[in-house]
Amino acid sequence: MTPVPAAVELRRFRDIAPVWDTLISVYAEVRADRLHDPHYSVERYGERLARHAAEPGWEAVVGYDGDEAVGYAYGNSIEHGDRYWRRITTPLPETLTRTPTLVLKEIMVRVPWRKTGASRSIHDTLLTGGPRNR
């Protein structure tokens, strides 16, 4: 795993309530140049976030520098037979789809912490949690 950049603390969440405002705030900052597009609006993102957070195995990792959010990644676990596998253009062999797998839904890092290793640390920490093999 990539070392955590100095001063960045990584916290794991399996409930959306404590980090809802943080994820919305980071999203709005990172996507500021696209918020005029209805698909990228904060309202639409909130709808997607609520839907994703309600899916089985949802979890997020948020990086903090003190009390300030640096960025986040979130995803959920999918099982064999999940509709996600049927939406893949090129079907995967069953050997890859029969074990629990993490689907990474979002990863974002605010500009001041880009190219510091923060996103890699957040990503790798998300991958190490939960009852899944990949």
The model carries a pTM of 0.87
Residue 28: strand, helix, or coil: helix
Tell me, yes or no, whether 51 lies in a domain: yes
Residues of the chain with pLDDT under 50: none
Structural domains of the chain, count: 1
Tell me, yes or no, whether 18 lies in a domain: yes
Specify the pLDDT at position 91.
84
Tell me, yes or no, whether 132 lies in a domain: no
Tell me, yes or no, whether 38 lies in a domain: yes
Specify the pLDDT at position 89.
86
CB neighbour list of residue 22: distance below 8 Å, 6 or more residues apart: 62, 69, 72
Tell me, yes or no, whether 31 lies in a domain: yes
Specify the pLDDT at position 130.
63
The per-residue pLDDT for range 57-66, each reduced to its tens digit, is 999 999 999 9
Residue 12: strand, helix, or coil: strand
Tell me, yes or no, whether 50 lies in a domain: yes
In which domain, by residue range, is 84 found?
Answer: 8-127
CB neighbour list of residue 65: distance below 8 Å, 6 or more residues apart: 7, 8, 9, 113
CATH number, residue 116:
3.40.630.30
Specify the pLDDT at position 9.
96
